[in-house]
Amino acid sequence: MGKIIAIANQKGGVGKTTTSVNLAASLGVLEKKVLLIDADPQANATSGLGIDVESVEVGTYQLLEHSSSAKDAIVTTNSPNLDLIPSHIDLVAIEIELVDVENREYMLKNAVDKLKDDYDYVLIDCAPSLGLLTLNALTAADSVIIPIQCEYFALEGLGKLLNTIKSVQKIHNVNLDIEGLLLTMYDQRLRLSNQVVDEVKKHFDQMVFDTIIQRNVRLSEAPSYGESIISYDASSKGADNYLNLAHELIKKNEKE
């Protein structure tokens, strides 16, 4: 039975989509069967895997509306063992459309629960907000990865996110776990980067992944070619970091 992992942080620009796409691709390369769900109206995970967003007719929006089944929404990608449920800008409307719907927090859970047996890992790339889309992802997930960038305001907003996770655990999903905090955009030359790493490790200790994602030019170039870092430049530092993260995640989950 697969594990559903949401990748969430309401702050933008922390490496959420970069992590979703490249962790999914890395797990696929390590022969795990992976599904990535793009639950962000910006659809960057969709375009980052080479899918033309304008051509998406069935995706996360139809899933949440229950006008389509999860199986019908799946597209295959060029990345080994990696499937995608794409997103489209129309997903923006879903928060308003579901506002009066009963059990609206469970729409994604009801749609993807049936897929758990088909995959080793289901990753959900969340929108940079704590709205209904992220709430749906956290309700559907077994655990959550929180990317934190190694920059000045790194811990700002983290308390808010952890409180949201606590209330989801209390009300909607008692089994939701924190998979780990992932430090991203690390630059070892900067004192500030090192201070953030020390501070996060001091506060959260065991919750922090050993793998740290370093700033890497190839990593930021890959999405514009519609490729994961693994297919764009497998010898880059970014590919190395995400493969290490995938190994760490697999090892952690095999122990449990």
pLDDT for the residue 92: 86
CATH code, domain carrying 105? 3.40.50.300
256 domain residue, yes or no: no
Residue 23 in any domain: the answer is yes
Domain contains 220: yes
- Is the alpha carbon torsion for 15, 16, 18, 23 positive or negative? positive
Range(s) of the domain holding residue 216: 3-249
Q: Does the residue 204 lie in any domain? A: yes
Structural domain contains residue 255: no
pLDDT along the chain (256 residues), means of 10: 93 92 98 96 95 91 89 94 93 85 92 91 94 94 95 83 92 95 92 90 92 94 95 96 97 85
In the sheet that holds 143-149, the strands lie side by side as: 75-76, 82-85, 34-39, 121-126, 3-7, 143-149, 177-186, 208-214
Q: Considering its fold, how many domains does the chain have in total?
A: 1
Integer Cα distance of 29 and 242 in angstroms: 11
- Is residue 145 domain-resident? yes
**What is the per-residue pLDDT for 98?**
85
Question: Does residue 36 lie within any of the structural domains?
Answer: yes
Question: In Å, what is the CA distance from 25 to each residue of 117, 176, 185, 205, 245?
Answer: 19, 24, 19, 27, 11
Record the pTM. 0.95
